[in-house]
Structure 1
Amino acid sequence: MDVNPIELQKHLKGVDYPASKDDVVSTAESNGAPDDILDALRSMNKDSFDGPTAVTEALS
């Protein structure tokens, strides 16, 4: 799945890193992320992230 990194970071605003996958998903939900982004975040292979770049890399 191809997620636009700029769009993604908009929905990750306010994530407190290091963050768990659940934190990332719930923050994205609170920020109104569309279902395709939420689905992509839920299907990431990693369970924790040290910054926004790590989330983007896990999705690519």
Structure 2
Amino acid sequence: MADPSPIDIQKALGGMEYPASREDLVKHAEGKGADGSVLETLKNLPDREFDSPTDVNKEASR
């Protein structure tokens, strides 16, 4: 499965309030019907608070 693009991740997190935990990000993306690759990427993020969409994308691209 290909890694999702930062745009795909941000579409799934549209309307997300920050700071947000990894669990919050996953729940939000699931609620918006994100595809499996986006959810998998979010579930693999470090278990910490994220301050912004940019913060999420930086971790997701590592």
User: One fold, TM greater than 0.5?
Assistant: yes
TM-score (norm 2): 0.86
Task: Report the equivalent of 1:33.
Answer: 34
TM-score (norm 1): 0.89
Cα separation, 2, equivalents of 1:2 and 1:52: 17
- 1:59 aligned partner, one-letter code: A
- Cα drift, residue 2 of structure 1: 2.7
**Aligned residues with identical type, % of pairs:** 42
Aligned to 1:6, the other structure's residue is in SS state helix
Alpha-carbon contact 2:26-2:43 (below 8 Å) kept: yes
CA–CA distance in structure 1, aligned partners of residues 47 and 3 of structure 2: 17
What does 1:20-59 align with in structure 2 at a 5 Å threshold?
A: 20-59=21-60
Q: CA deviation at 1:22?
A: 0.7
Aligned length: 60
Q: Is the 8 A contact 1:46 1:58 kept in 2?
A: no
- Runs of 4 or more, structure 1, over 3 Å off, are none
Amino acid of the residue matched to residue 16 of structure 1? E
Q: How well do the aligned residues superpose, as a CA RMSD in angstroms?
A: 1.3
